[in-house]
Chains A and B, each alone.
Chain A
Amino acid sequence: MVRGAVVAVTRLSENKKRLAVINILRQTLGAKRHFVLIALLLACLPLTAAILPEDRFDALYHYYSGGGVDISGPSLLFRKQVAAPVSMSTHYYVDTISSASIDVVTQASPYNEERTEYGLNVDYLNGKSLLSMGYTTSSENDYVADTVNIGISQDFFGDLTNISLGFARGSDTVTRSTDNVFEEQIERRNYRLGLSQILSKNMTVTLAFDLTSDEGFLNNPYRRYRYATTVNNALTESWDYERYPGTRTSTALGMRGLYYLPYRAAIGLEVRQFSDTWGINAQNWQLFYRHPTAMGWLFEVRYRQYSQNRASFYSDLFNAQDAQNFMARDKELSTYSSQTLGITASYGFNTGAISWIERGSVNLSWDYMRFDYANFRNASVNRDPAKGPTYDVGKEPFYGFSANIIQLYLSVWY
């Protein structure tokens, strides 16, 4: 009798939780036609336990150098379970930037600046659901960004499947250090759907779908586009501030798969397809291999390839000033491809000497990147015949650059 009552109460409780998940889905998706099917799926799935993330501390130093830009700084993450169902994390991140990039060289003077980011995240284990919410703020001398995010994840099918939903809303303030009056806003919204699936005892895969929309002042307040002018029957170049559309919506679908090899090592593949309302389509894939050794070392090597086509309003050289409504000459909006080759060496250790530390690892990582642009020309080439060979406007060689990225970090679990 008592056992039957307990089962009934448990079922009642689980039904309430299913209804709560369904309500959140309904509010997030807002698509009534599809809601019926999703509700059906959830109603018949067994709910199983979720767990909180592990307590850990990470301290990282990063260094980037390439294309005339040097960026370095620390990054810290601290995560701690503060109560039985609650885990909190906070992070701190700094970019110290010294820039003489191709845009800066052709349009302005080299500069130094610093960006600082703080974040706080809370994960709450409510019965069998993991709810999370967070806040991140980032500031530099001419840009402030605030983002809040909420999410829910749930395990199904005896922990073989995990489905997650997320929503983030950001608000940015853009200013121009050379203009005290200039101030613009950006509103951002991001919707995320994730699926993690164990396929076999050797293989697991994740799928992620992101929809992001931006509204406001979306271009760089300093960058200018290039247009052709004629002086004394000679073709020359002039510059004016870029103009971007006030909205942008993008979708991205990504997949990552991991396979445990017949010996103790893992191989992984990551692919992603991206498109947006500016006409950009991008694809990238990455292959990586992880190999541990008996001495406590873990090595990872990876190769990544990325390519995209240009935005519809991008041109390296416009025919005239105000030739069209929207005009951009940002190399990130051009047609180009990039390759990255990276390696990480990690040494794991167990600390018997310090009782409150469970284990840790020291990691050193190096990535080499190469960018080759297909319709972004190097406008910083020599224009003075007295100083050597010159190029006509619009006939300069295409731009390209290499970059090196170093990361040194310590991770401790306690």
Chain B
Amino acid sequence: MRLIPFIFVTILLLQGCSIEPWVMPYERARLADPIMLMDPNPVSSSYLNHVYQARESARGAESGQGGGCGCN
């Protein structure tokens, strides 16, 4: 019985082997537009993340990296 979930997941993964790209390269013009960049200004976003990290307890899972202790 313990093998059933394993077999189920394995079948799902093996199905993944046959996945074809559903957005073809010639259909990616809009995605290649600079306005669709996740982090178009890394220096600016890194700075803003540092501002947030210094004033908030939450950290991590953001688009850039900060640094320092940001005391006070």
Q: Interface of A with B (CB < 8 Å)?
A: 37, 40-41, 44-45, 58, 60, 62, 64, 69, 75-77, 91, 93, 95, 99, 101, 103-104, 115, 117, 136, 138, 140, 143, 145, 147, 157-160, 172, 174, 190, 192, 196, 198, 200-202, 204, 206, 208-212, 220, 222-223, 250-254, 256, 258, 260, 264-266, 272, 274, 276, 278, 280, 282, 284, 290, 292, 298, 306, 308, 311, 332-333, 338, 344, 363, 365, 367, 371, 405, 407, 409, 411
Contact = CB atoms under 8 A, between A and B. Distances in A.
B72 A405 contact: no
Contact of A143 (B17, B27, B35, B68): B68
B25 to A, nearest CB: 8
Nearest to B54: A332
Contact of B44 (A190, A276, A363): A363
User: How many residues of B sit at the interface, in one of the four size bands?
Assistant: 35 or more
A272 B61 contact: yes
Contacts of A256: 38, 63
Nearest to B44: A407
Nearest to A95: B68
B31 interface: yes
A15 B55 CA distance: 47
Given A208-B62, A266-B35, A363-B41, A37 B9 contact: yes
Contacts of A160: 21-23
Nearest to B9: A37
A69 B51 CA distance: 12
Given A41-B16, A103-B72, A282-B56, 20 more contacts: A37-B13, A145-B68, A158-B25, A200-B22, A204-B36, A206-B63, A208-B62, A220-B69, A254-B62, A258-B38, A260-B30, A260-B33, A265-B35, A272-B58, A274-B60, A282-B58, A290-B35, A371-B55, A409-B43, A411-B41
A143 B71 contact: yes
Contact of A250 (B14, B60, B67): B60
B67 A292 contact: no
B16 to A, nearest CB: 6
B21 A201 contact: no
A323 to B, nearest CB: 22
Contact of B57 (A64, A196, A333): A333
22 contacts: A37-B13, A41-B13, A99-B72, A138-B68, A147-B67, A157-B21, A223-B72, A250-B58, A260-B31, A260-B35, A264-B35, A272-B62, A278-B57, A280-B57, A280-B58, A284-B58, A298-B34, A311-B57, A338-B55, A365-B44, A407-B44, A411-B41
Nearest to A275: B58
Given A143-B69, A160-B23, A75 B61 contact: no
A344 B72 CA distance: 27
B47 A367 contact: no
Of B17, B35, B38, most A-chain CB atoms within 10 Å: B35
Interface string B1-26: 00000000110011011011111010
Contacts of A266: 33, 35-36
Contacts, number: 176
B1 to A, nearest CB: 17
Contacts of A202: 30-31
A258 B17 CA distance: 27
Contacts of B27: 201
Given A143-B68, A260-B31, A196 B38 contact: yes
